[in-house]
Amino acid sequence: MLAALTTLRVGGPAQHLVTATTETELVDAVRTADDAGSPVLLVAGGSNVVIGDDGWPGTVVHVRTMGVTADDEALACAGSVLTVAAGHPWDDLVDTAVRRGLAGIEALSGIPGSTGATPVQNVGAYGQEVAQTIMAVRTYDRVDRRVHTFAVGECGFGYRDSMFKRAIDTGPNEGDRYVVLTVTFQLPLADLSTPIAYAELARHLGVDLGSRVPLAEVRSAVLALRRAKGMVLDVADHDTWSVGSFFTNPVLDVDTAERLPVSTPRWSTADGRVKVSAAWLIDHAGIGKGYGLPGPAAVSTKHTLALTNRGGATAADVVALAREVIAAVRARFGVTLEPEARLVGINL
């Protein structure tokens, strides 16, 4: 069952499962499935995917490629260039960077999942996102059937978005066009973090926004904040049996945002729109922490953005809960929440 490969622990069987531990195995597995006309689903850390109870009617490739290659000569004393295999655990990379005195991803500590997934979603938290430090993304192109490297400017990064997320092959091998093989990061050498850009993190650290703090202190603070919200994986804590934030923060036009209560947390975006807090909308729509307990699916007792498996939940249980949340927010505020997690074989 694919449930065993995901942090939410739901999902039916795969018709065919292949584990790839090298880049060659990864490309060969995808190419072989494409040649056979078998639909392909890539799963690595399984932290941002909800797989339906019917499973996957094709080939699931479990990406287990590992390793970090450092090119310290690339930036000399200014920092380092790290090229990371797609299946390498993301938080292991953050720990490595902090220990090496490399800044730029320290506020992304504790995020589960693999490094290869981070550019697809443009993963971000606590004022940082991977688009700020990615130098290049190396991929296998399932349409052109070749390896292709994209410089950061070609990746089309946006809020929790990228060209890779949008690039779908609509031909005979319908699905994601690009398979991420490695991600290259350019990280400056520094004792202190990049400027603290998130108010909650600044308060926890006891500093002003824009301050720089020792890297290890930022990592420790972020891990503490995430643990308090059930966002650091712990097999004994059902609040962490989730995909993290199930919904993205809505990005609204100014007129729509102005119709919301003035107390709604909001932030201006570079394109003139307004991002608002999904967690606040959910809570004020009557869906509080622990909603749905005892389960089998319920809102986390620590954070309203996390939909959790309390043990024995099915994908259908999680979907039913997600629909309740969406309906409540739409009825109260006229805003439709969108999932941040990838839904496989599921419609909301």
Give me the active site residues, please: 160, 245, 340
Longest dimension (CA), the chain: 57
What is the rounded CA–CA span in Å between residue 263 and residue 192?
34
Helix/strand/coil for 143: coil
Q: Taking Cα atoms as reference points, which of 309, 311, 332 lies closest to residue 321?
A: 309
- Run of H or E including 332: helix 315-333
Helix/strand/coil for 252: strand
State how far the alpha carbon of 142 is from the alpha carbons of 45, 180, 296, 323, in Å.
22, 11, 38, 34
What is the rounded CA–CA span in Å between residue 102 and residue 123?
18
What is the rounded CA–CA span in Å between residue 336 and residue 268?
19
Which residues neighbour 173 within 8 Å (Cβ) at sequence distance 6 or greater? 34, 37, 39, 40, 142, 143
| Residues pairing with 231 in the sheet | none
Residue the block writes with tokens 């938080």: 91
Give 19's DSSP letter: E
| Residues pairing with 178 in the sheet | 141
Helix/strand/coil for 163: helix
**Can you list the alpha helix ranges (DSSP code H) found in 11-134?**
23-35, 90-99, 118-121
